[in-house]
Homo-oligomer: A and B are copies of this chain.
Amino acid sequence: MARKPADQSVNREDILLAAAEVLRRNGYEATTMKDIAAQVNLTAASLYHHFTNKDSLLLAVLEGGLEQVIEQMEPILASEQSCAFKLRQMIRVHITSLTENTAVGAAMVFEVRPLMAFRPPPRNGNQFDAEAAEDFIRRRDTFFARRDYFENLFRRVVREGVDRGEFQTENATILVKTMLGAHNWVAIWYRETGPLTGEQIATLIADTFLRSLQPKG
């Protein structure tokens, strides 16, 4: 009954990648469906076969990016290592995932706000597509919750480190926000043609924060 999609046809993933690419260049609002479509040799109309609308496409890009990082984070958290080691790994994973796919990385930083400023889409006639809108809101809130969860992973290791006497910090919440800000910023200034690889940058940044966390500084 169900048909396997043809190999040469464009799939969701292709579109998401392409969208991220265009998004980086133009930002959400300035990006047209046509722009995204062009990137995968489709027409704007065709995109609506894969995604219900522009907002939902954006959301999918962000969801994908976030889940991909979270997936890599969890095993590190669960491992039986020192907190210093774990935190170092987490920083590395976060930063390299941003530098390896700068498009998605930048989207994670820049395109979250358009998501928040959700304006109910233009009414078609008078038909309340309120259900669709609510669906979207729900999905979006889930995304934000996942984001909090992600931040929380960092906070957890930091606190664990403090409890174990491995780390010293006055305010773990702020420390984590400080770290995440630094990481996210990488997505903005990093250039593949720059002098340092993502790995190297990750190492430098990890050193910076771990040095700060070491007690008896």
Contact = CB atoms under 8 A, between A and B. Distances in A.
Given A185-B177, A185-B184, A217 B211 contact: yes
Nearest to A177: B189
Interface string A26-53: 1111100000000000000000000000
A204 interface: yes
A196 to B, nearest CB: 7
Interface stretch (A6-14, A62-70, A125-133, A167-175): A167-175
Q: Label chain A's interface by main secondary structure.
A: helix
A178 B208 contact: yes
Interface residues on A, range: 35 or more
A104 to B, nearest CB: 16
A116 to B, nearest CB: 9
A56 interface: no
Contacts of A170: 204, 207
Nearest to A112: B188
A180 interface: yes
A58 to B, nearest CB: 12
A181 B185 contact: yes
A183 interface: yes
A186 B176 CA distance: 11
A92 B211 CA distance: 21
